[in-house]
Amino acid sequence: MSWIKNITEEVNNLKPDNKATRKFPLIFGIIFLSIFLYFQFATGRSYTLLLFLAILSGLAGFLPVKTIYPVYKIWMTIAVFLSYFMSRFILIVLFYFIITPIGLFLRLFGKEFLELRFDKEKKSYWNKREEGYVSDPEKQY
């Protein structure tokens, strides 16, 4: 299967630098802290697990890169796997639920964007340009 091969190649080609690996737990610490603060101030409920995860993630950012890298590699593998399917899912949703209904709706009302049918009564299919059209885009003035 080629998609499995593509995903494995992309995961194997991950060569993060020390800076990216070091940022990884710090970003998660900021995310967990933000979620904790939101729940603390917006709802008044305290989720100490989120605070604990924020502190733990923040402190993990100061560990040697070799200890952080396996977790980083697992996370990036999950991210590559999800991105492979999410991009296709988004394109499917965009096409079948947005573009296709618009096309069907316009066809119901007889709108044609391309003149695909042959019209014997037309002398020419040439479309005249509007006045003020610039033929050379580099010399517009």
In a domain, 126, yes or no: no
**Residue 25 is part of which domain span?**
2-108
In a domain, 124, yes or no: no
Residue 12 has pLDDT above 80, yes or no: no
Distances (CA, A) of 71 to 6, 56, 57, 67, 115: 21, 14, 11, 8, 56
Q: Determine if the pTM surpasses 0.75.
A: no
In a domain, 29, yes or no: yes
Q: Mind listing the pLDDT tens digit for each residue in 20-76?
A: 888 889 999 999 999 999 988 888 787 889 899 999 998 998 888 888 888 888 888
In order, the DSSP letters of the chain are: -HHHHHHHHHHHT----HHHHHHHHHHHHHHHHHHHHHIIIII----HHHHHHHHHHHHHTTS-HHHHHHHHHHHHHHHHHHHHHHHHHHHHHHIIIIIHHHHHHHHHTT--SS--S--TT-S--PPPPPTT--S-TT---
Q: Mind listing the pLDDT tens digit for each residue in 106-115?
A: 989 988 777 7
In a domain, 128, yes or no: no
In a domain, 96, yes or no: yes
| Number of domains making up the chain | 1
In a domain, 137, yes or no: no
In a domain, 141, yes or no: no
Q: Which amino acid is at 92?
A: I
Residue 131 has pLDDT above 80, yes or no: no
In a domain, 125, yes or no: no
